[in-house]
Amino acid sequence: MDTERFCQHCGKPFGAKAVHGLCPECLMQVGMGSEPGVEGGPKGFVPPTPEELAPHFPQLEDLEFHGKGGMGAVYKARQKNLNRLVALKVLPPNAGRDPAFAERFTREAQALAQLSHPGILTIHEFGHAGGFYYFVMEFVDGVNLRQLLRAQRLSPREAMAIVPQICEALQYAHDRGIVHRDIKPENVLVDKQGRVKIADFGLAKLLGREGQSLPLTQSAEVMGTPQYMAPEQLERPLEVDHRADIYSLGVVFYEMLTGELPLGRFPVPSRKVQVDVRLGEIVLRALEKEPELRYQQARVFKTEVETVAQAAGSGSPAAAHASRPRANRSEARTTWYGPLALGLFLAGTLGTLALMSLSPREEPALVFGALALCLAVVFAWMSRRERLGRFVLFTVGGAVCLAGAIAAVSFSDPCADAPAGISRTPAAGAGPARIRSGASPAGSGKAGPANHQRIDGGFCGCAAG
């Protein structure tokens, strides 16, 4: 009785006559040059079965096919002597056809093994066995970012928790002169605690020809996944530096926020989904065509995203699926700065008008209004990152300009338009302002010593001509 077996790619059961461990549907896709369930895989590469690999890796046991990507096939296994789970990555066999590959493989693998960072997949062992070049790496109990995106659209908070962790790992590698060259969702792993790890560091360079002297008739091979590659990776592959990773991360960030790739003349994320407009500015800067206009360091990218995350009340980046942390006291106070600025602006404006209409003196009203507006500007500036704070700043600025223009016109020369017969020289004994113009008090029968007229909203004492 034949035991039931399952397809290594789609998981469907199949009979004993299946070829290469694939069901008929997946086998047809491989024969047509595409990879079942995988984008960007090497054409024609059929991963060996665990049974075929086991004799070549006696130090491993319980080999289990885990997945296939553009850089080879991955198997889950247990390391006997240390009794720990590891991931065995087998590179495509055609990678070793280049006579110089063995030397390059050893050199690059040794450099990658020196990377010791919580956000980078650790390499335990590397070598050549059974016709395959391989890596024995840390096993991550989780999923990759592509699987997360297929399962559901990530919230902006979850995206802002993942991106800074990627930036931190990239900065660590960039400081040591290592560029990933193939940042994409498939190479970003997220474990069950929400911790992020980057896989396949440097494999794009390892499987390409960068740094070699090429014949004039041979062009440099393009390394990476086209949808996520920076323009210079396609146009000038030998001049690629760490800023290409920043561009690729910008593509990944855009996809996390919108669920789509930034192709052609793409809109900013805030026009497609409800996200902070500042996130769109961050993404657009990372996606600048010219490397000089992008973020020059991944740590700056990280700081920008964390600033928006903190302003949005999401706290410090943590696990992508962790609960939202409680805002600290300083963040709680910040949320009141905008409404307080608006209240002070309204109080200063309305209070000044009320005091000027009720009080015979204008100075206290003006002092009150100026003080209230100054405080409104202070609190509006403290909340300038919020929409309400910016609104108060613009409104106060416009109101001050308008009030200055009115004051300049009203108080420039209050007696300039006095009628004929009214002198601009105050009469001796003229009383204070706000006395009615014209005749003497009612019932006196005598002309008053001076005429007092209100002209253009101001009061002036003028002697009769």
| Model confidence band, residue 451 (pLDDT cutoffs 50, 70, 90) | very low
**Res 264: pLDDT:** 85
**Res 57: pLDDT:** 93
| In the predicted structure, residue 135 carries a pLDDT above the cut 80 | yes
Single out the residue of 265, 268, 264 nearest to residue 282, CA to CA. Answer: 268
**Res 407: pLDDT:** 65
| Model confidence band, residue 308 (pLDDT cutoffs 50, 70, 90) | very high
**Res 19: pLDDT:** 41
Residue 89, SS3 per DSSP: strand
Q: Is 62 an annotated catalytic residue?
A: no
| In the predicted structure, residue 151 carries a pLDDT above the cut 70 | yes
Catalytic residue among 62, 141, 175, 182: 182
**Res 209: pLDDT:** 39
Q: What is the DSSP string of 133-153?
A: EEEEEE--SEEEHHHHHHH-P
Burial class of residue 395 (count of CB atoms within 10 Å of its CB; 0-12, 13-18, 19+): middle
pLDDT digits (tens, 9 = 90+) for 366-375: 777 777 777 7
Residue 454, SS3 per DSSP: strand
Single out the residue of 90, 94, 97 nearest to residue 133, CA to CA. Answer: 90
- Pairing mode, strands 123-129 and 142-144: unpaired
Please name the residue that has the structure tokens 């004994």. Answer: 429
| Model confidence band, residue 454 (pLDDT cutoffs 50, 70, 90) | very low
Residues contacting residue 51 through CB under 8 Å, at least 6 positions apart: none
Q: What is the DSSP letter of 359?
A: -
Please name the residue that has the structure tokens 């004799």. Answer: 55
Q: What is the DSSP letter of 194?
A: -
What is the overall mean pLDDT for the chain?
A: 73
| In the predicted structure, residue 94 carries a pLDDT above the cut 70 | yes
| In the predicted structure, residue 173 carries a pLDDT above the cut 70 | yes
**Res 388: pLDDT:** 66
33-42, 73-82, 291-300, 427-436: range with lowest mean pLDDT: 33-42
**Res 101: pLDDT:** 81
| In the predicted structure, residue 248 carries a pLDDT above the cut 90 | yes
Q: Where are the domains of the chain?
A: 38-138, 143-211+221-311, 329-410, 414-465
Single out the residue of 381, 376, 319 nearest to residue 349, CA to CA. Answer: 376
| Model confidence band, residue 350 (pLDDT cutoffs 50, 70, 90) | confident
> Measured between alpha carbons, how far is 157 from 313 in angstroms, rounded to an integer?
9
Q: What is the DSSP string of 219-272?
A: PPPP-S-GGG--HHHHH-GGG--THHHHHHHHHHHHHHHHSS---SSPPPHHHH
Burial class of residue 11 (count of CB atoms within 10 Å of its CB; 0-12, 13-18, 19+): exposed
* Whole-Å CA distances, 134 to 49, 92, 123, 126: 15, 9, 11, 6
Q: What is the DSSP string of 328-345?
A: -HHHHHHHHHHHHHHHHH
How confident is the model over 58-69, as a mean pLDDT?
88
How confident is the model over 352-373, as a mean pLDDT?
71
Single out the residue of 95, 119, 135 nearest to residue 223, CA to CA. Answer: 95
Domain 38-138: top CATH class: alpha beta
Q: What tokens does 176 get?
A: 């040591």
How confident is the model over 268-278, as a mean pLDDT?
89
Higher pLDDT, 128 or 98: 128
Straight-line distance from the first to the last Cα atom of the chain, in angstroms, rounded to the nearest whole number:
129
- H runs (alpha helix) in 383-445: 387-410
For the structural domain made of 143-211+221-311, what CATH number should be given? 1.10.510.10
**Res 28: pLDDT:** 43
Higher pLDDT, 454 or 312: 312
CA dihedral 266, 271, 272, 273 (to 10 degrees): 140
Burial class of residue 323 (count of CB atoms within 10 Å of its CB; 0-12, 13-18, 19+): exposed
Over its C-alpha atoms, the chain yields an Rg (Å, rounded) of: 37
Phi, psi of 293 (to 5 degrees): -95, -10
pLDDT digits (tens, 9 = 90+) for 187-242: 999 998 889 999 888 776 666 534 333 332 233 344 557 889 999 988 888 888 99
* 434 neighbors 461 (Cβ within 8 angstroms): no
| Model confidence band, residue 68 (pLDDT cutoffs 50, 70, 90) | confident
Residue 435, SS3 per DSSP: coil
CA dihedral 453, 458, 459, 465 (to 10 degrees): -40
| In the predicted structure, residue 453 carries a pLDDT above the cut 70 | no
| Model confidence band, residue 131 (pLDDT cutoffs 50, 70, 90) | confident
* Whole-Å CA distances, 215 to 209, 218, 219, 220: 12, 5, 8, 9
> Measured between alpha carbons, how far is 102 from 330 in angstroms, rounded to an integer?
57
Residues contacting residue 177 through CB under 8 Å, at least 6 positions apart: none
| Model confidence band, residue 105 (pLDDT cutoffs 50, 70, 90) | confident
> Measured between alpha carbons, how far is 135 from 108 in angstroms, rounded to an integer?
12
Burial class of residue 112 (count of CB atoms within 10 Å of its CB; 0-12, 13-18, 19+): buried
Residues in the chain: 465
Strand partners, 458: 455
**Res 447: pLDDT:** 46
Higher pLDDT, 151 or 202: 151
